[in-house]
Structure 1
Amino acid sequence: MELKKPSDNCFTEVDGFGVAICNYAGDQNHLAILYKNPQKPDDVKLFHVNSYKSDLLTPVESHYLWVDIDWLPPIRKIAITANLKNIIDNNKDTKIRYGFSFNLGCFDPVTGKINNFYDSADGFTCATFVLEVLKSLGVELVDWNSWPVASPEDINFKQYILSQLESYSVKYPDIVTEEFLLGQKNKINDPRFKPQEVIAATKCKEASTYNSIQKPAQLVHEEVLSYSN
């Protein structure tokens, strides 16, 4: 698949919303929803989990590549964008923990607010947050049950994140609680959903299985690396 570059396709060209990706370092990428305010066509921002309890809506930056979800019919995309605005507007003060939860169904279908399915032991990565938001909007990009348990590489990644959270907890125990840390330790073997897998899945009308998405996800990763270098 071909990702759109901001030098060729301005972010304001996004059809309501899309998905954006950038490289952090090496094999680690970052994922966000690219959102254009329907009332302000020049107002395009990222809706994402950038770090632990960070602002969910931030300015978009030039090192991101992006895609539209082209298979969505225009009328449906208008409705989804309006509902996405509802989620964004009603979660302005929400601070999402960075963690390993997935497929919670935690955005209220009426208000858009985080509900009780997201509790004090839950948190999202950048990729699972995007999946969770799109799921609440009726866009199921992945076949959740097809993802395998964490590989040794995935476990190493999670253990690194845990070490960072534990260090933060020493300084701010009221922010990163023992209950939350225990919840993440209990998820150490759970599946890991990677940014390149999610953005590759946007090109498929049917929910992608783990095996079907690995080759296109690798091509996405290579393109993102090439662009960042």
Structure 2
Amino acid sequence: MPEVKLIGDVGLFGAAILQTPTPGQRHAALVFKDRSKKHLSLLHLAWHYTLKCDPLNAPYRSVPNLNFDEEELELFAEQASRLYDENTAGIPYGMEYTGASVFNGEMGFIDAPGAGLTCATFILGFFNSLGFDILDLSSWQSRDDDTQWQSNIYAALEPRLTAERKEAQKDLIGAAYRFRPEEVVGSFAIFESSPIDFSDAVTVGVKLLDEMHAK
């Protein structure tokens, strides 16, 4: 794995990560320059049917990828803007991500019973729709605290769900893989052409957290 600094300035397009007030919980976002705005924007799935596009603000740490060329970055920025425009009703929150397409050709979310994304899988789904698989999902592993995290998410999410979505999400507790924001954002930073495997994603996730918390 290349020894590079992960946190840095973003010009046209990149990612961002935020340490939330909840211990051990981070939040991931895309960062892009909309042609209609002078400032960088944060595109992120904040919660159930809460897709937001906000100005990039100081608590977030921006993370560029230096391996994409200018033309690719421009395309990503345009597609991020389109995704926001095409999903004005929001996107459901959900704990399962299999690598199947979650956005159609117009960048509209493909909804179905039990479908949904986290802030991290929102980023994975975005790149997948453009032909880039950031992570090697076949290498992914469960970890001891995944089930507790999923239980906590379900408890917060459950009052907002229809009966059908409740059943689908509850069945994922202890069964779905968890993709952590720092691992997804860190993997985006070092991605070149091949998907990042689990062990490298964990390593780069730790490195990103170390940079975030360095004084």
Smaller-chain TM-score range?
A: 0.7 to 0.9
- TM-score of the two chains, using structure 2 as the length reference: 0.88
RMSD: 1.8
Q: Distance in 2 between matches of 1:130 and 1:138?
A: 13
Residues 149-199 of structure 1: per-residue CA shift (max 9 Å, x gap) = x32300000001111123xx2xxxxx4112111111222211110011111
The secondary structure found in structure 1 opposite 2:68 is: coil
The secondary structure found in structure 2 opposite 1:50 is: strand
Q: CA deviation at 1:21?
A: 0.1
Report if aligned partners of 1:143, 1:210 keep a CA contact under 8 Å in 2. Answer: yes
Q: CA deviation at 1:225?
A: 3.4
- TM-score of the two chains, using structure 1 as the length reference: 0.83
Report if aligned partners of 1:31, 1:126 keep a CA contact under 8 Å in 2. Answer: yes
Distance 1:83 1:164, change over 3 A: closer
Match of 1:139 in 2: 132
Q: Distance in 1 between matches of 2:154 and 2:209?
A: 24
Count of paired positions: 207
State the percentage of identical aligned residues: 24
Q: CA deviation at 1:220?
A: 1.0
Residues 114-142 of structure 1: per-residue CA shift (max 9 Å, x gap) = 23xx3131221110111111211222210
Match of 1:32 in 2: 29
Match of 2:101 in 1: 105
Match of 2:177 in 1: 191
1:165 and 2:161 matched: no
Report if aligned partners of 1:84, 1:137 keep a CA contact under 8 Å in 2. Answer: no
Match of 2:119 in 1: 126
Q: Please, which of 2, 7, 16 is the counterpart of residue 4 of structure 1? A: 7
Q: Distance in 2 between matches of 1:17 and 1:101?
A: 26
The secondary structure found in structure 2 opposite 1:94 is: coil
The secondary structure found in structure 2 opposite 1:120 is: coil
Residues 50-100 of structure 1: per-residue CA shift (max 9 Å, x gap) = 122213212322111111221012222222322332222222x13222221
In structure 1, the gaps of 5 or more residues are: 170-174
The secondary structure found in structure 1 opposite 2:29 is: strand
The secondary structure found in structure 2 opposite 1:56 is: strand
Q: Please, which of 46, 50, 55 is the counterpart of residue 51 of structure 2? A: 55
Q: Please, which of 66, 81, 87 is the counterpart of residue 83 of structure 2? A: 87
1:204 and 2:196 matched: no
Match of 2:162 in 1: 177
Q: CA deviation at 1:17?
A: 1.3
Distance 1:81 1:3, change over 3 A: same
1:221 and 2:214 matched: no
Distance 1:79 1:60, change over 3 A: closer
